[in-house]
Amino acid sequence: MKKSVKTGKAVKGTAGKKTVKKPAAKVKSAPKNKSAAVAKKHAVKIKPTKRKPSISPRTKAKSTPSRKPTAAGGAESALLAELRAAASGLDAEGIRHLIRQAAVLKHNLGVMKDHADRKKMATVDAMRKGSGVSNKTTIDVKEADDGSSFILIINNARNFFALDEMRKLVGICHAAASETDAAGRLYNWLAQNRKDILVDTDIGSASDPALGTIYRFIKGRYALKKG
């Protein structure tokens, strides 16, 4: 019984006392990694700045000074002005004549240039002459439908003549006393007016057989226009 009484007193003593619970101390959380904290602290969003494209400023192009007209250019301008003035007083037929003459001149220039190029290349010259066999004894003619131009084909060369030029050749052939005389006259006229014909047809002198062929063909086919 004594043991139980002591136990009851002990219980009574403890029951009378109020137990005050102390607030639990806040437990500090262990600091995170220092480097991570520093990184978080400095992780400030930086707005991207628009960079202007690095383009070097364009340099102003220097204006080229206007070229002064050369003496040749001035002469051409004067001749063109003179040609316009002369053509303004012509009728339609006269203007057509000028156009045909211009076509003949352009053709001659083209033939001369072409011949110079061919002399540099023997193979090209051989192609121009077809088989390469010289043939100055036969001739053919191609006339324009309106009779304004003629092409005499001899020695594998196509020789273009305007109507006025063809009339001069006809006059030379009919005025000559003989074939030899006609050949000399034809050679002189071609040398002064149509050197491209001599070059393209390979006519080297007044005694060339091609001139006799031209004479016989023209005199036999074309009559001299009177008046």
pTM score, whole prediction: 0.45
Q: Considering the chain, what percentage of its residues have pLDDT values greater than 70?
A: 59
Q: Give the range among 5-19, 50-64, 73-87, 200-214 with minimum mean pLDDT.
A: 5-19
Q: Where are the domains of the chain?
A: 89-227
Q: What is the pLDDT of residues 126-136, one digit of tens each?
A: 444 444 567 89
Q: What is the pLDDT of residues 173-190, one digit of tens each?
A: 999 999 999 999 999 999
- Spatial separation of the C-alpha atoms in residues 167 and 142, rounded to whole Å: 15
